[in-house]
Amino acid sequence: MNSLLGVVLLLVVLALIAVVVAVLVVVLQRRKRDQGLADRARTVDPMGPGPLTSDPRTLKPGDIVRLSGEPGDWVVRGTLAFDEDGFRWKEHLLDGSSIEAGERRHWLSVEEDEGGLELALWDRLPGSDLTPDSAEVAYDGVAYRRDERGRARYSSTGTTGAAESGEAEYADYVPAKGGSSRLAFERYSTTGAWEVSTGRLVGVESVTILHS
């Protein structure tokens, strides 16, 4: 009995040590990243030309994003680049997770057309049964009308959850009565489930980028 108790105690101690080591690694990595950003801020003029230019069109995995009204830094974990007959746009997976804040993720879409540069911040709706089969969709008390639907080739870099390349089907909805909210559907195979996201338009001035 004593030997069994000793084994149990040893396993508990080892588990506690493993947890402490994991926490220390995360804290040290975050401190190292923050120190690197602080060093760059002291040596590079943020308002001058160079690697700190906040141009959303040049976002890539590894860059740091700061969002107005959202605490902390967001790391670009991965990027999806879409091409539909020459019309191109990108979606970036932003990860702001930390020990203090827990898991936090957004998608930032960057699209440029004749109307100018449009940015939108998106959140996935896991488990949603909504589909883009109708011209109008209601969600959270808001009526949306379908604005676009189509297929586009895509390539994936970094961590996105999608294959390295392929074809995606999408459908975008805007509020029937106007507004900055958005509703989007994507799927990456004809038999796959729709990924549903809610979004809102954000101004270019509300996004600060520290390019890696």
Give tens-digit pLDDT for 77-86: 999 999 999 9
In a domain, residue 49? The reply is no
Same domain, 17 and 67: no
Are 123 and 147 members of one domain?
Answer: yes
119 and 173: one domain?
yes
User: Is the residue at 89 inside a domain?
Assistant: yes
Predicted model pTM: 0.74
7 and 110 share one domain:
no
Tell me, yes or no, whether 50 lies in a domain.
Answer: no
User: Hey, what are 206's tokens?
Assistant: 């509300």
What's the structural domain count of the chain? 2
208 pLDDT band, cuts 50/70/90, is very high
> Please, which residues bridge with residue 151 across strands?
169
120 and 205 belong to one structural domain: yes
Q: Do 134 and 29 share a structural domain?
A: no
Which residues, listed in sequence order, are joined to residue 118 by a DSSP beta bridge? 111
Residue ranges making up the domain that contains 31: 1-43
Answer whether residue 34 shows pLDDT above 70. Answer: no
Beta bridge partners of 158: 78
pLDDT tens across 68-117, in order?
999 899 999 999 999 999 999 999 999 999 888 889 999 999 999 877 89
pLDDT at 22 over 60: no
Q: Using the predicted structure, report yes or no on whether residue 42 has a pLDDT greater than 70.
A: no
Based on the fold, state whether residues 102 and 24 are members of the same structural domain.
no
HSE value, Cβ hemisphere, 13 Å, CA-based, for 180: 9
